[in-house]
Structure 1
Amino acid sequence: MKLVSNWKSVLKGAASIWFFLASLLAMLGFFFSLASPFMLGWSPLWFAGVSALFQVLAIPARLVMQHSLTEVDLSVLSRFRQDQSGALRKGSIGLIAGSGLALSTAIAFVGGWEGLRQEAYQDVVGVWTVCYGETKGVRPGDRYSKADCDEMLAEEIAAYEAALDQCLTAEVPLGMKIALVSWTYNVGAGAACQSTLVRRANAGDLSGACDELKRWNRAGGRIWRGLTRRRFSEMQMCHAALQAME
């Protein structure tokens, strides 16, 4: 058996090969949208990064699946880049909300800790809740797709980031911002803005601010194992972001 002389160009232009690779990427993106770090036994930090990567790669993969490689309509890509229908208002765009990859990472990270329940349920104090802890306007019998839940969480993350930005004046790297927004989402913007953590960050002690996260592992005056694990994961992400700047 002998390879054709121009096998490299044939391989590069073979629509079937690119369609297969695109299908694989799209399936991986779909898989990570349904999976959770606990199901895979992964660290939420690693899961968030890998999930965000495949979610982003799945976008061009779907375009390739819809058009053969040699007949891709460039106007599709142009319209995709110019479409602003799902954009956030400029006033609400922050370090996370302004980047699709950063927002995907934040959704995967925060969502992995909050847990996803697509059908409305009553929490421990009887409040109707759905998705990643959403309570506003939730009624018995409500049910949402994962895409709907992710959209709700994206809006909440943008809102919590904006609230945190009202008191966090220091410039922080992206990974640290995601960790702090995850913490703020969990403890509330009021508690976050009045914290020693934010004061240390604003004073320029970013490493000390990251260390403060481990102190927020109590609820009702009691230490909770789940909160301890979450704070440790947030602290890891926080310090990793600072180390990447050095």
Structure 2
Amino acid sequence: MKITAISAIALATLSQLVSGYTINGDSVNCRSGPGTSNGVVRTYSRGDDVTLSCQTEGETVKGDSLWGKTQDGCYVADYYVQTGTSSYVVGKCGASGGDSGDSGNSGSSGNTGGSGFCKALNAASISLIKEFEGFVPSPSPDPIGLPTVGYGHLCQSKGCGEVSYGFPLSESSAEALLKNDTPKYSTCLGEMLKGSVTLNDNQWGALTSWVFNVGCGNAKSSTLVSRLNAGESPNDVASAELPQWRLAGGRVFDGLVRRRAAEVKLFTTPSSSQAFPSCQ
């Protein structure tokens, strides 16, 4: 077949799909999902070429929250890929023109209301998490023995080696680490909820604080999420369900009782700023 013409857009898209982008870091991990807590599938060396099938939002790395899915079926932080821009160069994962059916995050329920929901939390939500996680300048076991640092960062390696800030952390670097961590939890929260659920930024932040505390897996299987998806009043659901999450290591913790009460208070505080299903 003789091709006599091709549009500039089609040519650019074809180039992106078949041309490799160069890895610009040493020993860059390609992971099973767009975040450093996901397992390492393979490791690239500086100068390796990768082909991107799609990109998605994930954990922020060096100020860049984009991750690309490579020809190896794993995700690499955009910061380490020489695309020439911090914006999308291929389609979004799970969107038209991208890698259909892949949300870019493990554990998706398929209920996501869209990619426009807020990843960042408002100041009140960050303050709540900081208050109840407490400031830990160097890696140390939490009340149930898990190694944490900063404001609730759960260490993923010995000595929290994945943290790019030096120890002991300052309060400002600990807050920056927290803001790098929370998008993972707001992303999985967004993937649990149906697009028919509407939440303002206080409700969104309160729920992200809860997910940050209990984990994505526990939240996904919760009655709280199923009731929201069933269309019940968000304020009624949060007021009834959040206080149930007061156990750690099989026993009631006063700190969790107080945290749940603070999350309910924030959740039920009116706000005109929508955070889910679209960020406004």
Alpha carbons of structure 1 residues 217 and 128: separation in structure 2 relative to 1, 3 Å: closer
Larger Rg: 1
Q: Is the 8 A contact 2:201 2:271 kept in 1?
A: no
Partner amino acid for 1:210? Answer: A
Greater fraction of residues in strand: 2
State the TM-score, normalizing by the size of structure 1: 0.56
Gaps (5+ residues) in structure 1? 1-84
1:181 aligns with 2:208: yes
Query: What's the % identity of the aligned pairs?
Result: 30
Which of 123, 127, 130 lines up with 1:104 in the alignment?
Answer: 123
Counterpart code for 1:185? F
Structure 2 residue aligned with 1:149? 174
Gaps of 5+ in 2: 1-61, 67-86, 93-103, 105-114, 161-165, 275-280
Larger helix percent: 1
Q: How does 1:130-145 map to 2 (within 5 A)?
A: 130-134=149-153, 135-137=155-157, 139=159, 142-145=167-170
Q: How does 1:142-221 map to 2 (within 5 A)?
A: 142-169=167-194, 170-205=197-232, 206-211=234-239, 212-221=241-250
Counterpart Cα distance in 2 of 1:185 and 1:94: 20
Cα gap change, 1:126 to 1:213, in 2 (>3 Å): closer
Structure 2 CA distance for partners of 1:130 and 1:196, relative to 1, 3 Å: same
**What SS does the aligned partner of 1:166 have?**
helix
SS of the equivalent of 1:139 reads: helix
- Please tell me the root mean square deviation across aligned C-alpha atoms, in Å: 2.9
Q: SS in structure 1 opposite 2:138?
A: strand
TM-score, normalized by length of structure 2? 0.49
Query: Residue 54 of structure 1 aligns with which residue?
Result: none
Asked if the contact 1:163/1:189 (under 8 Å) is kept, the reply is: yes
CA deviation vs aligned residue, 1:20-42 (integer Å, no higher than 9, x gap): xxxxxxxxxxxxxxxxxxxxxxx
Aligned to 2:263: 234
Displacement after TM superposition at 1:221 (Å): 2.8
1:244 CA drift (Å) = 9.6
